[in-house]
C-alpha cells in the first residue's frame, strides 16, 4: 500500500537541507492519497518530536551504537521518510539515501524505538504527515 510512497516523493518533491535543524524538508503542495488514508506533505504545523529537533538529535545519540554528529561536516548521512500518524506514532519507515547495510539497519532500528511525536495539523486537526529526516553518522 505505501511501497510506492518513497519513489513518488522522490519524483514529486525536491529536498533542501536545513543544516541548523539537521533534517531534510520535503516541499510539496498537495497530499498523497492511499486507499485508506491521506498522507500530507504540506501542513500548517509539522509534527514535533518530544523536546524538538534538539531532542531528536539527543535521542539518536542516546540510542545509536555509532557516533552521531550534529552537523553534516565530516559526517555521512542516512536520509529516510517516516509517516507520523494522527496519534503521533511513527509509521512506514522508508530509506531514501543510505551509507551501507550496517548504518542503514541501525537507522531503522533507532526509528523503531522512537516515542510518539506531537502530530502535525491542518486547520487545528491532526493529520498523517510524511517527514523526511537525516541522521549524521561520524563514520571513521
Domain boundaries, the chain: 5-137
Report the alpha-carbon distance of residue 20 to residue 86 in Å, rounded. 27
Report the alpha-carbon distance of residue 44 to residue 124 in Å, rounded. 8
pLDDT tens digits, residue range 88-97? 999 999 999 9
Q: Which residues face 33 on adjacent strands?
A: 38
pLDDT at 36: 52
**HSE-up of residue 35 (Cα within 13 Å, Cβ side):** 4
Say which DSSP state 16 is in: E
What residues contact 15, with CB distance under 8 A and at least 6 apart? 24, 25, 26, 79, 132
The single residue listed with the C-alpha cell 516541499 is 27
The DSSP secondary structure of 27-44, one letter per residue, reads E-SSEEE-SS-EEESS-S
pLDDT tens digits, residue range 13-65? 323 333 333 333 444 444 555 545 799 999 999 999 999 999 999 999 999 99
pLDDT at 11: 30
In Å, the largest CA–CA distance within the chain is: 46
At residue 5 the predicted structure's pLDDT band, cuts being 50, 70 and 90, is very low
pLDDT tens digits, residue range 100-115? 999 999 999 999 999 9
Closest CA relative to residue 39, chosen from 131, 130, 133: 130
pLDDT at 21: 36
Burial class (CB in 10 A: 0-12, 13-18, 19+), 127: buried
pLDDT tens digits, residue range 67-92? 999 888 889 999 999 999 999 999 99
Q: Is residue 125 pLDDT above 80, yes or no?
A: yes
Say which DSSP state 92 is in: E
Model pTM score: 0.74
Q: Rounded to 5 degrees, what are φ and ψ at 100?
A: -160, 175
Amino acid at each position: 500500500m505505501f511501497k510506492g510512497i518513497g519513489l513518488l516523493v522522490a519524483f514529486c518533491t525536491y529536498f533542501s537541507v536545513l543544516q541548523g535543524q539537521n533534517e531534510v524538508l520535503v516541499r510539496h503542495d498537495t497530499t498523497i492519497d492511499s486507499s485508506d488514508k491521506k498522507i500530507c506533505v504540506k501542513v500548517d504545523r509539522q509534527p514535533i518530536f518530544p523536546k524538538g529537533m534538539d531532542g531528536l538529535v539527543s535521542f539518536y545519540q542516546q540510542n545509536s551504537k555509532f557516533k552521531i554528529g550534529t552537523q553534516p561536516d565530516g559526517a555521512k548521512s542516512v536520509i529516510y521518510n517516516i509517516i507520523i500518524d494522527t496519534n503521533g506514532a511513527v509509521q512506514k519507515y522508508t530509506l531514501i539515501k543510505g551509507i551501507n547495510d550496517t548504518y542503514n539497519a541501525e537507522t531503522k532500528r533507532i526509528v523503531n524505538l522512537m516515542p510518539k511525536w506531537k502530530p502535525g495539523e491542518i486547520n487545528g486537526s491532526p493529520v498523517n504527515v510524511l517527514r523526511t529526516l537525516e541522521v549524521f553518522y561520524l563514520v571513521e
